[in-house]
């Protein structure tokens, strides 16, 4: 068995999300929010055949997280794991479906890992985040987007993770000044939509101080954020708290349009 875990974002934005987790030689996807063709191309570009994906875990039923799952799972006979609320949005899937609770631990004991689900206040029924726990190395990685808030319970769930893909969806000023209609702006920052760069910084500071050394900023809005703003404001915030990039943490930005070099733990 190949021991270790890799977290590799294939796509990460409001226009489509999918993250590859390679754990002890087994490949799983968190979300399938691009077309089957695009997911397949992304996997192949990082050296993974789509037939070798052992499972797809869905976070929730918005289209940017489930768009390609029906075709992909049918074509490659990939089992799907999702909450009941999410499966209602997906509809009928011509493959093995495993309905999980919002706080379930799915064990892949023979492969040496577990996948933990945890509920979020995002504004759709059945929304969860995931933690993949490697039972061989005793290290966790988390995929945490579409949060709405970074709650005290989420702190406990993600505490001590070795690597985290963390939502940094919008810059407050860009959202305020941008072209979105007022109701959509209010939905995004309501506590049931997405988290801002500012909230991301506070969450990341907590994680870093609790032992997380690898942070990947993800789910950046194409309209209300940029990679440059997300990165610059993150580093500036951490510098002001005596946390230095390269010493206290590693930082990467997940691309909206192509696979990003991931983290290995």
Instruction: Write out the two tokens for 43.
Output: 């996997």
CATH number of 5-264: 3.60.15.10
Q: What is the pLDDT of residues 121-145, one digit of tens each?
A: 998 999 999 999 999 999 999 999 9
For the segment 5-24, the average pLDDT, to the nearest whole number, is 97
| pLDDT at residue 143, as a whole number | 98
Helix (H) or strand (E) run with residue 207 in it: helix 197-209
Say if CB 58 and CB 81 are below 8 A apart: yes
Q: What is the pLDDT of residues 81-134, one digit of tens each?
A: 999 999 999 998 889 999 999 999 999 999 999 999 999 999 899 999 999 999
Ranges of each domain in the chain: 5-264
For strands 139-144 and 214-218, give the pairing.
Answer: unpaired
Instruction: Write out the two tokens for 96.
Output: 């093995």
Say if CB 121 and CB 149 are below 8 A apart: yes
pLDDT at 244 over 80: yes
Beta bridge partners of 216: 165, 252
In angstroms, rounded to a whole number, what is the distance separating the alpha carbons of residues 140 and 134? 6
- Residue 1 binned pLDDT confidence (cut-offs 50, 70, 90): low
In angstroms, rounded to a whole number, what is the distance separating the alpha carbons of residues 11 and 81? 19
């Amino acid at each position: 068995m190949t021991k270790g875990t890799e977290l590799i974002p294939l796509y990460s934005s409001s226009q489509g999300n999918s993250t590859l987790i390679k754990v002890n030689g087994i490949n799983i996807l968190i979300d399938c929010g691009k077309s089957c063709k695009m997911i397949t191309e992304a996997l192949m570009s990082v050296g993974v055949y789509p037939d070798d994906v052992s499972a797809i875990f869905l976070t929730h039923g918005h289209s940017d997280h489930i768009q390609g799952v029906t075709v992909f799972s049918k074509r490659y006979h990939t089992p799907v794991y999702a909450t009941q609320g999410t499966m209602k949005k997906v509809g009928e899937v011509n493959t093995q479906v495993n309905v999980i609770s919002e706080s379930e631990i799915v064990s892949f004991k023979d492969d040496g890992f577990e996948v933990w689900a945890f509920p979020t206040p995002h504004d759709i029924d059945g929304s969860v985040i995931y933690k993949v726990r490697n039972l061989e190395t005793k290290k966790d990685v988390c995929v945490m987007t579409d949060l709405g808030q970074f709650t005290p319970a989420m702190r406990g769930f993600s505490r001590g993770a070795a690597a985290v893909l963390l939502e940094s969806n919008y810059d407050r000023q860009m959202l305020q000044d941008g072209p979105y209609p007022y109701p959509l702006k209010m939905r995004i920052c309501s506590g049931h939509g997405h988290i801002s760069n500012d909230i991301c910084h506070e969450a990341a500071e907590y994680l870093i101080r609790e032992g997380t050394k690898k942070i990947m900023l993800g789910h950046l809005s194409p309209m209300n954020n940029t990679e440059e703003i997300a990165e610059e404001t993150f580093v500036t915030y951490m510098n002001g708290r005596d946390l230095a990039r390269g010493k206290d943490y590693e930082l990467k930005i997940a691309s909206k349009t192509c696979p990003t070099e991931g983290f290995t733990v």
